A and B are shown apart, each in its own frame.
Chain A
Amino acid sequence: MIEPLLSLDGLTKSYGAVVACNGAGLQIAPGEAHAVIGPNGAGKTTLIGMVAGELRPDSGWIKFAGRDITRLPVQDRPALGLARSFQITSVFPRFSALDNVALAVQAQAGGNFGSWRDARQDADLRAPALACLERVGLGARAEIPARVLAHGEQRQLELAMVLASKPRLVLLDEPTAGMGREDSARMVALLAGLRGEVAMLLVEHDMDAVFALAERISVMLGGRVIATGTPAEIRADVQVRRAYLGEDGAEPC
Protein backbone atom coordinates (compact mmCIF):
# COMPACT_ATOMS: atom_id res chain seq x y z
CA MET A 1 0.00 0.00 0.00
CA ILE A 2 1.16 3.54 -0.67
CA GLU A 3 2.22 5.72 2.24
CA PRO A 4 -1.06 6.67 3.97
CA LEU A 5 -1.97 10.36 4.19
CA LEU A 6 -3.59 9.94 7.57
CA SER A 7 -3.05 7.15 10.00
CA LEU A 8 -4.62 6.79 13.41
CA ASP A 9 -3.37 4.25 15.85
CA GLY A 10 -4.66 3.23 19.26
CA LEU A 11 -6.64 6.42 19.83
CA THR A 12 -8.25 6.40 23.26
CA LYS A 13 -10.33 9.09 24.89
CA SER A 14 -12.48 8.84 27.96
CA TYR A 15 -14.72 11.24 29.81
CA GLY A 16 -14.65 10.22 33.42
CA ALA A 17 -15.81 6.61 33.49
CA VAL A 18 -17.14 6.70 29.92
CA VAL A 19 -14.68 5.47 27.32
CA ALA A 20 -15.74 7.18 24.08
CA CYS A 21 -12.87 5.92 22.00
CA ASN A 22 -10.98 2.78 22.91
CA GLY A 23 -7.90 2.15 20.80
CA ALA A 24 -9.39 3.16 17.46
CA GLY A 25 -7.17 3.05 14.40
CA LEU A 26 -7.47 3.44 10.63
CA GLN A 27 -5.52 4.62 7.59
CA ILE A 28 -6.50 6.79 4.67
CA ALA A 29 -4.55 6.99 1.39
CA PRO A 30 -4.14 10.28 -0.51
CA GLY A 31 -7.34 11.08 -2.38
CA GLU A 32 -9.30 8.29 -0.73
CA ALA A 33 -12.92 8.78 0.32
CA HIS A 34 -13.24 6.97 3.62
CA ALA A 35 -16.44 6.71 5.65
CA VAL A 36 -16.77 5.88 9.31
CA ILE A 37 -20.09 4.36 10.31
CA GLY A 38 -21.48 2.96 13.49
CA PRO A 39 -24.37 3.38 15.90
CA ASN A 40 -24.76 6.45 18.08
CA GLY A 41 -22.24 6.48 20.87
CA ALA A 42 -19.77 4.36 18.91
CA GLY A 43 -17.19 7.15 19.17
CA LYS A 44 -17.34 8.59 15.65
CA THR A 45 -17.68 12.23 16.67
CA THR A 46 -14.96 11.82 19.30
CA LEU A 47 -12.69 10.36 16.63
CA ILE A 48 -13.30 13.31 14.28
CA GLY A 49 -12.75 15.70 17.18
CA MET A 50 -9.36 14.20 17.89
CA VAL A 51 -8.27 14.28 14.24
CA ALA A 52 -9.41 17.90 14.00
CA GLY A 53 -7.47 18.73 17.17
CA GLU A 54 -10.38 19.87 19.30
CA LEU A 55 -10.02 16.90 21.62
CA ARG A 56 -6.75 15.66 22.98
CA PRO A 57 -6.39 11.86 22.98
CA ASP A 58 -5.53 10.18 26.26
CA SER A 59 -3.25 7.86 24.34
CA GLY A 60 -2.48 6.77 20.79
CA TRP A 61 -1.21 8.88 17.93
CA ILE A 62 -2.28 10.66 14.77
CA LYS A 63 0.05 10.92 11.80
CA PHE A 64 -0.72 13.20 8.90
CA ALA A 65 1.47 13.38 5.79
CA GLY A 66 4.26 11.65 7.63
CA ARG A 67 4.16 14.01 10.58
CA ASP A 68 3.01 13.33 14.13
CA ILE A 69 0.21 15.83 14.77
CA THR A 70 -1.27 14.21 17.88
CA ARG A 71 -0.64 17.31 20.00
CA LEU A 72 -0.69 20.00 17.33
CA PRO A 73 -3.14 22.84 18.21
CA VAL A 74 -6.35 23.09 16.14
CA GLN A 75 -5.43 26.30 14.41
CA ASP A 76 -2.12 24.92 13.14
CA ARG A 77 -3.69 21.94 11.36
CA PRO A 78 -5.33 23.67 8.38
CA ALA A 79 -1.93 24.93 7.21
CA LEU A 80 -0.83 21.31 6.78
CA GLY A 81 -3.85 20.62 4.59
CA LEU A 82 -6.28 19.24 7.15
CA ALA A 83 -9.68 20.95 7.11
CA ARG A 84 -13.01 20.14 8.70
CA SER A 85 -16.67 20.92 8.32
CA PHE A 86 -19.01 20.94 11.27
CA GLN A 87 -22.01 18.79 12.02
CA ILE A 88 -24.01 21.79 13.13
CA THR A 89 -23.82 24.38 10.40
CA SER A 90 -21.17 26.78 11.51
CA VAL A 91 -20.94 29.71 9.15
CA PHE A 92 -20.65 33.41 10.06
CA PRO A 93 -24.26 34.56 9.91
CA ARG A 94 -23.69 38.33 9.62
CA PHE A 95 -21.18 38.02 6.80
CA SER A 96 -22.10 37.47 3.16
CA ALA A 97 -21.44 34.07 1.62
CA LEU A 98 -18.42 35.47 -0.17
CA ASP A 99 -17.10 37.05 3.07
CA ASN A 100 -17.34 33.65 4.72
CA VAL A 101 -15.24 31.96 2.11
CA ALA A 102 -12.84 34.92 1.91
CA LEU A 103 -12.15 34.45 5.62
CA ALA A 104 -11.12 30.88 4.90
CA VAL A 105 -8.84 32.11 2.11
CA GLN A 106 -7.40 34.71 4.47
CA ALA A 107 -6.67 32.03 7.06
CA GLN A 108 -4.83 30.08 4.41
CA ALA A 109 -2.83 33.17 3.35
CA GLY A 110 -1.81 33.88 6.96
CA GLY A 111 -0.88 37.29 8.34
CA ASN A 112 -3.85 39.34 9.49
CA PHE A 113 -1.92 42.25 10.87
CA GLY A 114 0.09 43.98 8.18
CA SER A 115 -2.58 44.94 5.70
CA TRP A 116 -4.53 48.19 5.84
CA ARG A 117 -6.35 47.50 2.60
CA ASP A 118 -10.08 47.00 2.54
CA ALA A 119 -10.23 43.22 2.63
CA ARG A 120 -13.53 43.25 0.73
CA GLN A 121 -11.81 44.90 -2.24
CA ASP A 122 -8.81 42.59 -2.09
CA ALA A 123 -8.71 40.45 -5.24
CA ASP A 124 -6.19 38.11 -3.63
CA LEU A 125 -8.97 37.06 -1.24
CA ARG A 126 -12.08 37.58 -3.34
CA ALA A 127 -11.11 35.76 -6.55
CA PRO A 128 -10.21 32.39 -4.98
CA ALA A 129 -13.23 32.69 -2.66
CA LEU A 130 -15.59 33.24 -5.57
CA ALA A 131 -14.06 30.29 -7.40
CA CYS A 132 -14.82 28.05 -4.41
CA LEU A 133 -18.39 29.37 -4.19
CA GLU A 134 -18.92 28.64 -7.85
CA ARG A 135 -17.55 25.16 -7.42
CA VAL A 136 -20.27 24.35 -4.85
CA GLY A 137 -22.93 26.04 -6.93
CA LEU A 138 -23.35 29.21 -4.87
CA GLY A 139 -21.72 31.64 -7.31
CA ALA A 140 -24.97 33.53 -7.79
CA ARG A 141 -25.56 33.85 -4.03
CA ALA A 142 -22.17 35.40 -3.18
CA GLU A 143 -23.47 38.68 -1.77
CA ILE A 144 -26.31 37.18 0.30
CA PRO A 145 -25.79 37.25 4.10
CA ALA A 146 -25.13 33.72 5.28
CA ARG A 147 -27.99 33.78 7.80
CA VAL A 148 -30.49 34.27 4.96
CA LEU A 149 -29.29 31.22 3.02
CA ALA A 150 -31.39 28.06 3.13
CA HIS A 151 -30.12 25.20 5.27
CA GLY A 152 -28.87 23.21 2.29
CA GLU A 153 -27.11 26.28 0.93
CA GLN A 154 -25.41 26.88 4.26
CA ARG A 155 -24.04 23.34 4.10
CA GLN A 156 -22.77 24.05 0.58
CA LEU A 157 -21.19 27.21 1.93
CA GLU A 158 -19.47 25.15 4.64
CA LEU A 159 -18.02 22.98 1.93
CA ALA A 160 -16.81 26.02 -0.02
CA MET A 161 -15.04 27.28 3.12
CA VAL A 162 -13.38 23.93 3.57
CA LEU A 163 -12.25 23.88 -0.08
CA ALA A 164 -10.88 27.40 0.24
CA SER A 165 -8.27 26.20 2.66
CA LYS A 166 -6.85 23.97 -0.10
CA PRO A 167 -7.01 20.82 1.98
CA ARG A 168 -5.43 17.46 1.29
CA LEU A 169 -7.87 15.81 3.67
CA VAL A 170 -11.35 16.98 4.61
CA LEU A 171 -13.11 15.87 7.77
CA LEU A 172 -16.83 15.80 7.07
CA ASP A 173 -19.06 15.43 10.10
CA GLU A 174 -22.47 14.36 8.76
CA PRO A 175 -22.46 16.54 5.64
CA THR A 176 -26.09 15.67 4.78
CA ALA A 177 -27.49 16.00 8.32
CA GLY A 178 -30.91 17.61 8.41
CA MET A 179 -31.19 17.84 4.61
CA GLY A 180 -34.11 16.92 2.41
CA ARG A 181 -33.72 14.30 -0.30
CA GLU A 182 -32.95 16.83 -3.03
CA ASP A 183 -30.35 18.83 -1.07
CA SER A 184 -28.84 15.62 0.13
CA ALA A 185 -28.42 14.32 -3.41
CA ARG A 186 -26.83 17.59 -4.50
CA MET A 187 -24.34 17.41 -1.60
CA VAL A 188 -23.45 13.80 -2.40
CA ALA A 189 -22.87 14.78 -6.03
CA LEU A 190 -20.64 17.68 -4.95
CA LEU A 191 -18.61 15.44 -2.68
CA ALA A 192 -18.38 12.75 -5.35
CA GLY A 193 -16.86 15.37 -7.61
CA LEU A 194 -14.03 15.84 -5.13
CA ARG A 195 -13.05 12.19 -5.10
CA GLY A 196 -9.50 11.54 -6.20
CA GLU A 197 -8.61 15.19 -5.73
CA VAL A 198 -9.05 15.49 -1.97
CA ALA A 199 -9.05 12.73 0.60
CA MET A 200 -12.19 12.62 2.75
CA LEU A 201 -12.91 11.25 6.17
CA LEU A 202 -16.65 11.12 6.36
CA VAL A 203 -18.93 10.42 9.30
CA GLU A 204 -22.44 9.86 8.07
CA HIS A 205 -25.66 8.23 9.14
CA ASP A 206 -27.25 8.17 5.71
CA MET A 207 -26.19 4.78 4.37
CA ASP A 208 -27.16 5.62 0.80
CA ALA A 209 -24.75 8.52 0.89
CA VAL A 210 -22.04 6.39 2.48
CA PHE A 211 -22.27 3.62 -0.08
CA ALA A 212 -22.48 6.13 -2.92
CA LEU A 213 -19.38 8.05 -1.84
CA ALA A 214 -16.97 5.91 0.10
CA GLU A 215 -14.22 3.86 -1.45
CA ARG A 216 -13.51 2.28 1.88
CA ILE A 217 -15.55 2.08 5.05
CA SER A 218 -14.61 1.61 8.69
CA VAL A 219 -17.20 0.37 11.16
CA MET A 220 -16.98 1.60 14.73
CA LEU A 221 -18.55 -0.08 17.72
CA GLY A 222 -17.91 0.61 21.37
CA GLY A 223 -15.03 2.97 20.65
CA ARG A 224 -13.16 0.54 18.40
CA VAL A 225 -12.89 0.04 14.67
CA ILE A 226 -14.23 -3.48 14.24
CA ALA A 227 -13.90 -3.73 10.47
CA THR A 228 -12.47 -1.84 7.51
CA GLY A 229 -12.98 -2.63 3.86
CA THR A 230 -14.59 -1.76 0.56
CA PRO A 231 -18.35 -1.20 0.56
CA ALA A 232 -18.84 -4.68 -0.85
CA GLU A 233 -16.65 -6.23 1.86
CA ILE A 234 -18.48 -4.35 4.58
CA ARG A 235 -21.87 -5.43 3.27
CA ALA A 236 -20.66 -9.00 3.32
CA ASP A 237 -18.93 -8.88 6.71
CA VAL A 238 -20.77 -11.16 9.11
CA GLN A 239 -19.48 -9.45 12.21
CA VAL A 240 -20.67 -6.10 10.94
CA ARG A 241 -24.03 -7.43 9.94
CA ARG A 242 -24.56 -8.95 13.32
CA ALA A 243 -23.23 -6.05 15.32
CA TYR A 244 -24.69 -3.24 13.39
CA LEU A 245 -26.51 -3.49 10.10
CA GLY A 246 -28.29 -6.71 10.93
CA GLU A 247 -29.91 -5.74 14.19
CA ASP A 248 -33.10 -4.39 12.78
CA GLY A 249 -32.17 -4.29 9.14
CA ALA A 250 -32.24 -0.51 9.00
CA GLU A 251 -29.58 2.04 9.75
CA PRO A 252 -29.90 3.51 13.21
CA CYS A 253 -30.40 7.22 13.49
Chain B
Amino acid sequence: MSVPPYRAVLFAGLAFALALPLLAGVLGLDYAVGIATRILILALAGIGLNLILGFGGMVSFGHAAFFGLGAYTVAILSHHDMTGEAFATWPFEIGGTVAAILAWPLAMAVCALAALVIGAISLRTGGLSFIMITLAFAQMLFFFFVSLETYGGDDGLSLLARSSAGPLDLHDPAQFYFLVLAIVLLALAVTARWSRARFGLALQGIRDNERRMRALGFATTRTKLAAFVISGAIVGLAGALMANHTEFVSPSFLSWQRSGEILAIVVLGGLGTVFGPVVGAVVFFVLEEVLSQWTQHWMIVFGPLLVLAVLFAKQGLWGLAAQKLARHD
Protein backbone atom coordinates (compact mmCIF):
# COMPACT_ATOMS: atom_id res chain seq x y z
CA MET B 1 0.00 0.00 0.00
CA SER B 2 1.43 3.34 -0.96
CA VAL B 3 0.38 6.70 0.37
CA PRO B 4 0.44 9.58 -2.12
CA PRO B 5 3.15 12.11 -1.19
CA TYR B 6 0.62 14.95 -0.82
CA ARG B 7 -1.22 13.02 1.89
CA ALA B 8 2.01 11.79 3.43
CA VAL B 9 3.16 15.37 3.96
CA LEU B 10 -0.16 16.31 5.55
CA PHE B 11 -0.07 13.31 7.89
CA ALA B 12 3.52 14.05 8.85
CA GLY B 13 2.55 17.63 9.63
CA LEU B 14 -0.39 16.51 11.72
CA ALA B 15 1.70 13.94 13.60
CA PHE B 16 4.31 16.58 14.33
CA ALA B 17 1.66 19.03 15.57
CA LEU B 18 0.17 16.39 17.86
CA ALA B 19 3.52 15.31 19.25
CA LEU B 20 4.91 18.81 19.65
CA PRO B 21 4.17 19.40 23.37
CA LEU B 22 5.67 16.00 24.21
CA LEU B 23 8.73 16.63 22.05
CA ALA B 24 9.20 20.06 23.55
CA GLY B 25 9.01 18.58 27.04
CA VAL B 26 11.55 15.90 26.27
CA LEU B 27 13.95 18.34 24.63
CA GLY B 28 13.47 20.92 27.36
CA LEU B 29 12.17 23.52 24.87
CA ASP B 30 9.02 24.35 26.80
CA TYR B 31 8.75 27.79 25.25
CA ALA B 32 8.24 26.12 21.85
CA VAL B 33 4.67 25.23 22.81
CA GLY B 34 3.87 28.91 23.28
CA ILE B 35 5.43 29.80 19.93
CA ALA B 36 3.54 27.00 18.20
CA THR B 37 0.30 28.23 19.76
CA ARG B 38 0.99 31.71 18.46
CA ILE B 39 1.73 30.36 14.97
CA LEU B 40 -1.51 28.36 14.97
CA ILE B 41 -3.53 31.41 16.04
CA LEU B 42 -2.10 33.49 13.20
CA ALA B 43 -2.68 30.58 10.84
CA LEU B 44 -6.33 30.69 11.90
CA ALA B 45 -6.46 34.40 11.08
CA GLY B 46 -4.89 33.53 7.73
CA ILE B 47 -7.49 30.82 7.11
CA GLY B 48 -10.19 33.42 7.74
CA LEU B 49 -8.66 35.97 5.39
CA ASN B 50 -7.90 33.32 2.75
CA LEU B 51 -11.62 32.60 2.46
CA ILE B 52 -12.23 36.01 0.88
CA LEU B 53 -8.75 36.77 -0.45
CA GLY B 54 -7.76 33.43 -1.92
CA PHE B 55 -11.14 32.00 -2.83
CA GLY B 56 -13.07 35.23 -3.33
CA GLY B 57 -10.44 37.57 -4.76
CA MET B 58 -11.33 40.34 -2.29
CA VAL B 59 -8.18 42.13 -1.14
CA SER B 60 -9.01 43.27 2.38
CA PHE B 61 -6.25 45.34 3.92
CA GLY B 62 -8.18 45.77 7.13
CA HIS B 63 -8.69 42.33 8.59
CA ALA B 64 -6.75 43.26 11.70
CA ALA B 65 -9.95 45.11 12.64
CA PHE B 66 -11.68 41.79 13.24
CA PHE B 67 -8.62 40.35 14.94
CA GLY B 68 -8.64 43.28 17.37
CA LEU B 69 -12.39 43.33 17.84
CA GLY B 70 -12.39 39.65 18.76
CA ALA B 71 -9.52 40.18 21.17
CA TYR B 72 -11.09 43.24 22.79
CA THR B 73 -14.44 41.45 23.19
CA VAL B 74 -12.78 38.77 25.28
CA ALA B 75 -10.66 41.29 27.21
CA ILE B 76 -13.52 43.68 27.96
CA LEU B 77 -15.82 40.90 29.13
CA SER B 78 -13.07 39.59 31.35
CA HIS B 79 -12.40 43.12 32.67
CA HIS B 80 -16.05 43.49 33.70
CA ASP B 81 -16.01 40.08 35.25
CA MET B 82 -13.09 41.22 37.40
CA THR B 83 -14.52 44.61 38.41
CA GLY B 84 -18.04 43.25 38.82
CA GLU B 85 -19.50 46.24 37.01
CA ALA B 86 -22.05 45.56 34.31
CA PHE B 87 -20.90 46.14 30.72
CA ALA B 88 -24.28 47.55 29.84
CA THR B 89 -27.47 48.16 31.78
CA TRP B 90 -29.70 48.84 28.82
CA PRO B 91 -31.78 47.28 27.31
CA PHE B 92 -30.95 44.58 29.84
CA GLU B 93 -28.04 44.08 32.14
CA ILE B 94 -24.99 42.53 30.52
CA GLY B 95 -22.24 41.56 32.91
CA GLY B 96 -18.71 40.39 32.28
CA THR B 97 -17.67 36.80 31.84
CA VAL B 98 -14.56 34.69 31.53
CA ALA B 99 -16.38 31.62 30.23
CA ALA B 100 -14.94 30.71 26.84
CA ILE B 101 -18.25 29.15 25.84
CA LEU B 102 -19.86 32.60 26.11
CA ALA B 103 -17.04 35.00 25.34
CA TRP B 104 -15.61 33.33 22.23
CA PRO B 105 -18.87 32.92 20.30
CA LEU B 106 -19.73 36.45 21.33
CA ALA B 107 -16.42 37.67 19.92
CA MET B 108 -17.29 35.92 16.65
CA ALA B 109 -20.77 37.42 16.64
CA VAL B 110 -19.43 40.93 17.24
CA CYS B 111 -16.97 40.49 14.37
CA ALA B 112 -19.62 39.01 12.09
CA LEU B 113 -21.80 42.03 12.74
CA ALA B 114 -18.93 44.44 12.15
CA ALA B 115 -18.03 42.55 8.96
CA LEU B 116 -21.64 42.80 7.81
CA VAL B 117 -21.57 46.60 8.11
CA ILE B 118 -18.04 47.05 6.75
CA GLY B 119 -18.61 44.55 3.95
CA ALA B 120 -21.95 46.03 2.91
CA ILE B 121 -20.28 49.42 2.39
CA SER B 122 -16.90 48.24 1.07
CA LEU B 123 -18.28 45.78 -1.47
CA ARG B 124 -19.94 48.63 -3.32
CA THR B 125 -16.46 49.48 -4.55
CA GLY B 126 -13.78 47.32 -6.08
CA GLY B 127 -10.09 47.27 -6.87
CA LEU B 128 -7.98 49.83 -5.08
CA SER B 129 -10.96 51.54 -3.46
CA PHE B 130 -11.87 48.26 -1.78
CA ILE B 131 -8.34 47.85 -0.44
CA MET B 132 -8.36 51.39 0.89
CA ILE B 133 -11.83 51.42 2.37
CA THR B 134 -11.20 48.21 4.30
CA LEU B 135 -7.98 49.81 5.54
CA ALA B 136 -9.93 52.94 6.46
CA PHE B 137 -12.42 50.99 8.55
CA ALA B 138 -9.59 49.23 10.36
CA GLN B 139 -7.97 52.61 11.05
CA MET B 140 -11.26 53.93 12.39
CA LEU B 141 -11.50 51.07 14.86
CA PHE B 142 -7.80 51.43 15.68
CA PHE B 143 -8.28 55.07 16.68
CA PHE B 144 -11.50 54.19 18.44
CA PHE B 145 -9.66 51.82 20.76
CA VAL B 146 -6.76 54.28 21.14
CA SER B 147 -9.22 56.83 22.51
CA LEU B 148 -11.18 54.35 24.58
CA GLU B 149 -9.70 55.38 27.95
CA THR B 150 -12.13 53.18 29.89
CA TYR B 151 -10.35 50.13 28.53
CA GLY B 152 -6.80 51.37 28.68
CA GLY B 153 -6.69 53.47 25.52
CA ASP B 154 -3.24 53.53 24.02
CA ASP B 155 -1.78 51.41 26.83
CA GLY B 156 -4.01 48.45 26.20
CA LEU B 157 -5.80 46.22 28.65
CA SER B 158 -4.46 43.27 30.62
CA LEU B 159 -6.47 40.13 31.19
CA LEU B 160 -6.41 38.93 34.76
CA ALA B 161 -6.79 35.37 33.59
CA ARG B 162 -7.37 33.26 30.52
CA SER B 163 -10.88 32.14 29.68
CA SER B 164 -12.29 29.21 31.58
CA ALA B 165 -13.31 26.30 29.43
CA GLY B 166 -15.03 23.61 31.49
CA PRO B 167 -12.65 20.82 32.40
CA LEU B 168 -9.76 22.35 30.45
CA ASP B 169 -7.22 24.56 32.16
CA LEU B 170 -6.18 27.05 29.53
CA HIS B 171 -3.30 28.26 31.69
CA ASP B 172 -1.64 24.95 31.01
CA PRO B 173 0.35 25.64 27.80
CA ALA B 174 -0.21 22.15 26.39
CA GLN B 175 -3.94 22.16 27.01
CA PHE B 176 -4.33 25.60 25.46
CA TYR B 177 -2.20 24.47 22.54
CA PHE B 178 -4.35 21.41 21.90
CA LEU B 179 -7.54 23.44 22.05
CA VAL B 180 -6.14 25.92 19.50
CA LEU B 181 -4.92 23.03 17.34
CA ALA B 182 -8.38 21.46 17.42
CA ILE B 183 -9.96 24.76 16.35
CA VAL B 184 -7.45 25.17 13.50
CA LEU B 185 -8.06 21.61 12.30
CA LEU B 186 -11.79 22.22 12.37
CA ALA B 187 -11.34 25.44 10.38
CA LEU B 188 -9.19 23.57 7.84
CA ALA B 189 -11.81 20.85 7.49
CA VAL B 190 -14.52 23.43 6.99
CA THR B 191 -12.44 25.27 4.36
CA ALA B 192 -11.63 22.05 2.53
CA ARG B 193 -15.28 21.09 2.45
CA TRP B 194 -16.59 24.52 1.65
CA SER B 195 -14.22 25.28 -1.16
CA ARG B 196 -15.67 22.35 -3.07
CA ALA B 197 -19.31 22.90 -2.16
CA ARG B 198 -21.67 25.08 -4.18
CA PHE B 199 -20.85 28.12 -2.08
CA GLY B 200 -17.11 27.74 -2.63
CA LEU B 201 -17.43 27.21 -6.36
CA ALA B 202 -19.69 30.24 -6.69
CA LEU B 203 -17.14 32.30 -4.76
CA GLN B 204 -14.28 31.14 -6.99
CA GLY B 205 -16.36 31.86 -10.06
CA ILE B 206 -16.90 35.40 -8.80
CA ARG B 207 -13.17 35.77 -8.20
CA ASP B 208 -12.42 34.76 -11.79
CA ASN B 209 -15.21 36.64 -13.58
CA GLU B 210 -17.84 38.43 -11.57
CA ARG B 211 -19.61 39.92 -14.57
CA ARG B 212 -20.13 36.48 -16.09
CA MET B 213 -21.45 35.16 -12.80
CA ARG B 214 -24.06 37.90 -12.66
CA ALA B 215 -25.05 37.16 -16.23
CA LEU B 216 -25.51 33.51 -15.22
CA GLY B 217 -27.93 34.67 -12.55
CA PHE B 218 -25.81 34.60 -9.39
CA ALA B 219 -26.49 37.20 -6.73
CA THR B 220 -22.79 37.94 -6.53
CA THR B 221 -22.83 40.75 -3.97
CA ARG B 222 -24.77 38.64 -1.50
CA THR B 223 -22.38 35.72 -1.94
CA LYS B 224 -19.36 37.97 -1.41
CA LEU B 225 -20.93 39.58 1.63
CA ALA B 226 -21.67 36.18 3.17
CA ALA B 227 -18.03 35.18 2.66
CA PHE B 228 -16.85 38.48 4.13
CA VAL B 229 -18.95 37.97 7.26
CA ILE B 230 -17.76 34.40 7.80
CA SER B 231 -14.19 35.52 7.20
CA GLY B 232 -14.55 38.30 9.77
CA ALA B 233 -15.95 35.88 12.34
CA ILE B 234 -13.07 33.41 11.89
CA VAL B 235 -10.47 36.16 12.21
CA GLY B 236 -12.36 37.40 15.27
CA LEU B 237 -12.05 33.98 16.85
CA ALA B 238 -8.32 34.10 16.15
CA GLY B 239 -8.22 37.45 17.93
CA ALA B 240 -10.10 36.02 20.91
CA LEU B 241 -7.55 33.22 21.13
CA MET B 242 -4.66 35.67 20.83
CA ALA B 243 -6.05 37.75 23.71
CA ASN B 244 -5.97 34.58 25.77
CA HIS B 245 -2.51 33.70 24.60
CA THR B 246 -0.88 37.04 25.40
CA GLU B 247 -3.28 37.86 28.28
CA PHE B 248 -3.11 41.40 27.02
CA VAL B 249 -4.76 43.39 24.24
CA SER B 250 -3.85 46.77 22.80
CA PRO B 251 -4.75 48.88 19.78
CA SER B 252 -1.72 47.39 17.99
CA PHE B 253 -3.91 44.29 17.48
CA LEU B 254 -5.80 46.43 14.96
CA SER B 255 -2.84 48.20 13.38
CA TRP B 256 -2.46 48.25 9.62
CA GLN B 257 0.88 46.45 9.99
CA ARG B 258 -1.02 43.55 11.51
CA SER B 259 -3.37 43.55 8.51
CA GLY B 260 -0.30 43.46 6.28
CA GLU B 261 1.12 40.55 8.27
CA ILE B 262 -2.03 38.48 7.85
CA LEU B 263 -2.01 39.28 4.13
CA ALA B 264 1.62 38.24 3.89
CA ILE B 265 0.90 34.97 5.69
CA VAL B 266 -1.86 34.08 3.25
CA VAL B 267 0.10 35.03 0.14
CA LEU B 268 3.37 33.46 1.29
CA GLY B 269 1.53 30.23 2.02
CA GLY B 270 -0.44 30.12 -1.20
CA LEU B 271 -3.62 31.95 -2.13
CA GLY B 272 -6.74 29.87 -2.33
CA THR B 273 -5.13 26.71 -1.05
CA VAL B 274 -6.58 25.05 2.03
CA PHE B 275 -3.32 24.55 3.92
CA GLY B 276 -1.46 27.59 2.59
CA PRO B 277 -2.16 29.86 5.58
CA VAL B 278 -0.72 27.30 8.00
CA VAL B 279 2.45 27.00 5.94
CA GLY B 280 2.57 30.78 5.61
CA ALA B 281 2.27 31.32 9.36
CA VAL B 282 4.97 28.75 10.09
CA VAL B 283 7.37 30.26 7.56
CA PHE B 284 6.61 33.80 8.72
CA PHE B 285 7.43 33.09 12.36
CA VAL B 286 10.33 30.78 11.77
CA LEU B 287 11.83 33.52 9.59
CA GLU B 288 11.15 36.13 12.25
CA GLU B 289 12.62 33.88 14.92
CA VAL B 290 15.75 33.03 12.92
CA LEU B 291 16.36 36.51 11.57
CA SER B 292 15.79 38.28 14.87
CA GLN B 293 18.33 36.04 16.57
CA TRP B 294 20.79 37.05 13.93
CA THR B 295 20.13 40.80 14.11
CA GLN B 296 17.71 43.07 15.90
CA HIS B 297 17.22 44.79 12.58
CA TRP B 298 15.72 41.64 11.08
CA MET B 299 13.11 43.65 9.17
CA ILE B 300 15.83 44.91 6.84
CA VAL B 301 16.22 41.35 5.61
CA PHE B 302 12.59 40.36 5.91
CA GLY B 303 11.32 43.29 3.83
CA PRO B 304 13.34 42.48 0.71
CA LEU B 305 12.57 38.75 1.21
CA LEU B 306 8.89 39.62 1.03
CA VAL B 307 9.49 41.57 -2.20
CA LEU B 308 11.37 38.60 -3.67
CA ALA B 309 8.67 36.18 -2.60
CA VAL B 310 6.03 38.28 -4.35
CA LEU B 311 8.13 38.59 -7.50
CA PHE B 312 9.28 35.01 -7.81
CA ALA B 313 6.99 32.73 -5.79
CA LYS B 314 3.62 33.89 -6.97
CA GLN B 315 1.80 30.66 -6.09
CA GLY B 316 3.04 30.71 -2.53
CA LEU B 317 5.06 28.02 -0.83
CA TRP B 318 2.25 25.55 -0.28
CA GLY B 319 1.02 26.24 -3.81
CA LEU B 320 4.44 25.29 -5.18
CA ALA B 321 4.82 22.30 -2.89
CA ALA B 322 1.33 20.98 -3.61
CA GLN B 323 2.05 21.18 -7.32
CA LYS B 324 5.33 19.28 -6.96
CA LEU B 325 3.75 16.65 -4.75
CA ALA B 326 0.73 16.22 -6.99
CA ARG B 327 3.02 15.48 -9.92
CA HIS B 328 4.31 12.46 -8.05
CA ASP B 329 0.82 11.27 -7.22
Is A bound to B? yes
A55-98 interface with B by 8 A CB criterion:
74-79, 83-84, 86, 90-95
B204-229 interface with A by 8 A CB criterion:
204-205, 208-209, 211-220, 223, 226
A165 touches B (CB below 8 Å)? yes
Contact A165–B217 (Cβ < 8 Å)? yes
**A interface residues (Cβ-Cβ under 8 A, vs B):** 52, 54, 74-79, 83-84, 86, 90-95, 99, 102-104, 106-108, 111-113, 115-120, 122, 125, 161, 165
**B interface residues (Cβ-Cβ under 8 A, vs A):** 193-194, 196-202, 204-205, 208-209, 211-220, 223, 226
Q: Which residues of B contact A83 (CB under 8 A)?
A: 215
A-B contact pairs, 8 of them (CB 8 A): A77-B217, A78-B216, A90-B211, A92-B212, A95-B204, A107-B213, A116-B197, A119-B196
Bound Cα distance from A92 to B213, whole angstroms:
9
Bound Cα distance from A107 to B208, whole angstroms:
16
Q: Which residues of A contact B213 (CB under 8 A)?
A: 103, 107
Q: Which residues of A contact B193 (CB under 8 A)?
A: 116, 118
Given A92-B205, A112-B202, A113-B226, A120 contacting B196 (CB threshold 8 A): yes
Residue of A nearest to B216 (CB): A107
Contact A107–B217 (Cβ < 8 Å)? yes
Contact A112–B211 (Cβ < 8 Å)? no
A-B pair number, CB within 8 angstroms: 84
Contact B197–A75 (Cβ < 8 Å)? no
Contact B197–A106 (Cβ < 8 Å)? no
Contact A115–B217 (Cβ < 8 Å)? no
Partner of A165, one of B198, B200, B216, B220: B216
CB A94 to nearest CB in B, in angstroms, measures: 6
Contact B209–A90 (Cβ < 8 Å)? yes
Q: Which residues of A contact B214 (CB under 8 A)?
A: 74-75
Contact A108–B197 (Cβ < 8 Å)? no
Contact A95–B205 (Cβ < 8 Å)? yes
Question: Which of A52, A76, A91, A104 counts the most chain B CB atoms within 10 A?
Answer: A104
Bound Cα distance from A117 to B208, whole angstroms:
22
Bound Cα distance from A65 to B71, whole angstroms:
54
Contact B218–A107 (Cβ < 8 Å)? yes
Partner of B208, one of A77, A92, A122: A92
Bound Cα distance from A112 to B199, whole angstroms:
5
Given A92-B208, A103-B205, A106-B202, A119 contacting B217 (CB threshold 8 A): no
Q: Which residues of B contact A118 (CB under 8 A)?
A: 193, 196-197
Partner of A108, one of B194, B199, B217: B217
Given A75-B220, A92-B209, A119-B196, A106 contacting B201 (CB threshold 8 A): yes
Q: Which residues of A contact B211 (CB under 8 A)?
A: 54, 90
Q: Which residues of A contact B202 (CB under 8 A)?
A: 103, 106, 112
